[in-house]
Amino acid sequence: MPCTFVPRTDDTIPLHILSEDGLADWSADQPEAIRNWIGANAFTGALGQSLVIADADGKPQMALAGYGTPTARKRGRFHVATAAAQLPTGSYEIASGLDANATEIEAIGWLLAGYAFDRYRDQSPLRARLVAPDQLDVQRIEAIVAGEVLTRNLINTPASDMGPPDLADSAHALAKQFDARIDVIVGDDLLTQNFPMIHAVGRAADRAPRLVDMRWGSSGPKLTLVGKGVCFDTGGLNLKPGASMGLMKKDMGGAAAVLGLAHMIMATGMNVQLRVLIPAVENSVSGNAFRPQDILTSRKGLTVEINNTDAEGRLVLADALAYADEDAPDQIISMATLTGAARVAVGPDLAPYFSDDPAFVSALEAAATATADPVWRMPFHDPYESMIEPGIADLDNAPKGGFAGCITAALFLRRFVTESPYAHFDIYGWQPNAAPARPKGGVGQATRALHAAVLPLLKR
């Protein structure tokens, strides 16, 4: 798939990106023939428009892409990717119209517009390829795009080919690529090594549960990423209805996101001591499935009453977070497709997150804006702590009533991190409708923002 830049050649076509209010000034400096061609094709600079202008021999001499108005641009992102999908075969170079930051965002969008999930069927490649802009760090951009491609591929792969062993194999491949260390605890060894809730959630499946532990880097601050790796979620004995089960191949989207972010970090040589923890399980139904009203004892020693087996993600994350916290890193970040409540609150496009650290919030919000990777802060609202305390056990995995579901889930996870700064992302990991640079299917959320924010944050 064409998700990389191409070299400049003699046939490279300059691309001018023109806003609606900038078209007239730009056109005034062009020959009359070009002005006439623009008028004849009703090119106004509106978002989504593109136009190729030929020379006297009929060969493309330049191309135009509409950049709309500031108001129109606020309603989306990766605007030039629309033109990239429309332009004819050739290599193009952004010649004018954007500052350096906008050029980087649009370049990333163009490369991502070339993504197609082609594991099971050939897909039409993007015909228009982009020449690397001179003023940008090309290797860094391609590393970021490659991390996003990894995330998308992992989420898009169905559970038949992306079960716990396959997810672990993907982590092994990433570790091998960057010479990282990796260890995987499998099956009943989870019990002997004190990961009881990961084992309980995954024990009913034919493919054994496991905990992936990858480490990279020997200097710099310690950053630990924890990703929910529920490779398929039937809901367990609290079985999901068919309509709710249809997208559950994406319930390992948190694991896919942290692996994609890990790729970005390692490929750009970030000076951190990176650790990635992924509890990889299937939440299945069989005679030994964990049950409603069971009480599980977690790695941390906290007891958890199971009031819904479909609230399993927080259980496997809890053991992994407790393990991460024992190392007391400088920052722990968890990412998970955790609650429907988060989707109801902010929809599929925003990545809601929880953090009580003003420095983390400030760095992330600035990076999210700069990278066109939107996030939305949600509260660790302490008065709701009583909602996750059932009385018969320390914690309730599924409080009754349904109020503040994403907040109570985040509060549940926070109970397992006591020694380290902690942030949690309740992502969706799925693009329900095609958008520029984001085809329908698996998608990364907040990873580009985190990549931009995390090192300055950890160096504070």
Catalytic residues: 240, 314
Q: In this structure, what DSSP letter does residue 102 have? A: H
Tokens representing residue 12 in the block = 């490279």
**Contact status, residue 335 vs residue 257, Cβ threshold 8 Å:** yes
> Which residue type sits at 240?
K
- Residue of 166, 169, 104 lying closest to 137 (CA atoms): 104
- Classify strands 90-96 and 422-426 as parallel, antiparallel or unpaired: unpaired
CA distance 401 to 411: 16
Beta-ladder partners of 52: 63
CA distance 166 to 209: 11
In 368-447, the DSSP E strands lie at 375-378, 395-396, 422-426, 430-431, 441-442
- Residue of 343, 360, 225, 240 lying closest to 279 (CA atoms): 225
- Exposure string of 328-347, with b = 16+ CB inside 10 Å and e = fewer, is ebbbbbbbbbbbebbbebbe
Tokens representing residue 144 in the block = 């970021």
Tokens representing residue 325 in the block = 């916290």
- Classify strands 222-227 and 295-297 as parallel, antiparallel or unpaired: unpaired
